[in-house]
Amino acid sequence: MSLADLPPFLFAIAVLIAVHEWGHYRVARACGVKVLRFSIGFGRVLWRRVGRDGTEFTLSALPLGGYVRMLDERDGPVPEQQREQAFGQRPLHQRAAIVAAGPAANWLLAILLFAVVAWLGTEVPKPLLGTPASGSLAERAGLQAGDWVRAVSPDGQQWQDVESLPALSAAVARAQALGEGLQLTVTDAQGHGSHSVRLDVERLAGRAPDAQLFAEIGLNPLQAPLISRVTPDGAGAKAGLVAGDRVLSIDGRAIQDAGQLRDAIRNAHDGGQPRHMAWRVERAGQVVELDVTPRLLQEAGGLVARLEVYVGSPPERVLVSRGFADGLWSGVAQSWDMAATTVRLLGRILVGEASVKNLSGPLAIADYAGQSARAGITPFLDFLARISMSLAVLNLLPLPMLDGGHLMYHLFEGLSGRPVPEWWQRQLQRAGALILMLMMALALSNDLVSRFAGWH
């Protein structure tokens, strides 16, 4: 996270909280409940207005929270002429509807934003695979350079079309987090020879979602074997490589894509000594032969050969967009799938079957906000949709202090015919606050650990 990420992060949080609280406000007003104050943020008040119904609207300097304050007997005696406007005097189903309206507003916003993203369309990398990493799950599954992934399924029964490489990565990450295998329908790069392969990502269940995990899965985009950049005074520069060289072969073995080229470079050592390689490259239409010797570096997995060059070309991209009805349905389906996956993942974390490192905190979210804002309006809207959906699911968790906890109170009242006793409400509030603080501390520690690991 940098300071440049802060404005898009604060804007996103302010919008999502405003939508959440607006849901509470509108349903409360529709049920005849008097709303005293509608507030977004804390700290110094930047803007204040009193509405026609007497509600005070405020916007404060720190938009990291908000609330709707309604007329309620717990604030003190309510005048007789206003008793029917008090929250606690409304029928149970109306009180439950007011509580559920906040998460529902975030859910509806997520559907709309997902739909807008689908309508606008976006250019994304095509799901064409490069050479799998050596020893990876993709290599063991039989995937090869040039394979085009067309659909995925966790059980071989319900298949989901794959339109982009990010969609494939998301499906693989979801299956790993949930401890499921994943079947892929694959064709060649021209769309011929359809067949299915199974990616055994359930073997990696419970692992933290880091770079090492995705390296072991081994799904790489198809990229041409180009030298895109050469570090001055590096081993590649000393061998005569220049940016724009297209590698044709190494030691007589044809090189088809960037993944195969990276593997050949990494493994160019014998017995702790770098191995000399005979390269044939195409440069400005001419074939050039080079004697290339890498530099050995000690990394976590042992000795690795490096040429200090950047390899690969941008992957092939396609425009993915939908019509009105398809886009709207895509928004509904995507939001439901995200909600179901989040609940299942939280359940697996709770029983110890998934890593707690799947929880992201404010630093990671701010980083994503900044990255998506820099990428353009469509990625930022997609980010907003995902955070809005996460906020909806989080608020529906049956924890005191959250909307889901209050819905549990109303459920108890509906089944027993009496409200939860005040003493129990106070104790549950304390327990809920403690759980939320622990969750926030854990998510923040994940952010800090991942950042320090990245710096290292």
What is the per-residue pLDDT across 398-419, written as a single tens digit (0 to 9) for each? 988 899 999 999 999 999 989 8
pTM recorded for the entire structure: 0.81
- If one looks up domain 226-311 in CATH, what number appears? 2.30.42.10
Cα–Cα distance for residue pair 366/398, rounded to 1 Å: 26
Is-catalytic flag, 21? Answer: yes
Taking the C-alpha atoms of residue 197 and residue 143, their distance in angstroms, rounded to an integer, is 8
| Residues 138, 129 contacting (CB under 8 angstroms) | yes
234, exposed or middle or buried, with CB in 10 Å at 0-12, 13-18, 19+? middle
Residues of the chain with CATH 2.30.42.10: 128-217, 226-311
> What's residue 432's pLDDT?
85
Which residue in this structure is represented by tokens 């509906």? 414
Q: Residue 180's pLDDT is what?
A: 86
CB 426 within 8 A of CB 144: no
Give dist(CA 66, CA 89) in Å, integer. Answer: 24
CA-derived radius of gyration, the chain: 27
- Distances, alpha carbon 2 to alpha carbons 51, 370, 449, in Å: 38, 8, 16
Domain 128-217 has CATH 2.30.42.10: yes
Confidence (pLDDT) at 207: 77
pLDDT along the chain (456 residues), means of 10: 77 93 95 92 90 90 88 77 85 94 97 95 88 86 90 87 89 87 90 90 80 83 90 90 93 89 86 88 93 83 83 85 93 93 87 78 85 90 94 91 92 91 88 86 77 44
Contact of 100 with 405, CB cutoff 8 Å: no
For position 154, what pLDDT does the model report? 87
pLDDT given at position 456: 32
Between CA 344 and CA 135 the distance in angstroms is: 30
Q: Which of the residues 21, 282, 308, 422 is marked catalytic? A: 21
User: What pLDDT, on a 0 to 100 scale, did the predictor assign at position 39?
Assistant: 93
Amino acid at 441: A
Residues in the chain: 456
